[in-house]
Amino acid sequence: MKEKKGLEKKIVGSRFFNRAKEQAAEFAKDPEKLNSLLKKADEKARLRKRGALDEVWVSLMTLFRMLRAYGSGAYRRIPVKTLIAMISSIIYFVMPFDFIPDILLMFGFMDDAALIAWTVKSIKKDIDQFAVWEADQTQKRDVSV
């Protein structure tokens, strides 16, 4: 567990993650750009579902849904700090060359998974609020059918 926390700390402090944070605001302001990023991330995630990503799969899919809802304007109750953290993590995830390059077969997605886990843990309250909203939306659709 201590090793994982050390890895998370190194990733969050890395120049790769800092570069992703610098770009995140652009994506937050441009729904088209955000959707393009999410499409790339979704494709990469589905190709690499095994291994390290398997551990954070549900969380990653929740981040994708939350950002899609934000991008479409359906859900806007995301604090700026949370939004930047989410988008930064997805940008980092899409980067092929980051703290641990994806080309390293056994280890390439360990940093991505660690960062997703850290992000989800950091914004748990906001994710929980989204989950309540999302369940309400599903219930409303089910009632209207």
Question: pLDDT tens digits for 26-49?
Answer: 999 999 999 999 999 999 888 776
In a domain, 67, yes or no: yes
56 compared with 53, residue with greater pLDDT: 56
- Take residue 121 and report the two structure tokens written for it: 């843990």
Residue 16 within a domain: yes
Residue 43 lies in a domain: yes
Assigned domain for 113 exists: yes
Q: What share of the chain is helix, strand, coil (3-state, %, to 5)?
A: 80, 0, 20
- Give the count of domains, the chain: 1
User: What pLDDT, on a 0 to 100 scale, did the predictor assign at position 91?
Assistant: 94
Confidence of residue 56 (pLDDT cuts 50, 70, 90): confident
Which residues, 6 or more positions from 58, have their beta carbon under 8 angstroms from its beta carbon?
none
Does residue 84 form part of some domain? yes
Is 55 inside any structural domain? yes
Q: Which domain holds residue 72?
A: 2-137
Does some domain include residue 142? Answer: no
Q: How confident is the model at residue 4 (pLDDT cuts 50, 70, 90)?
A: low
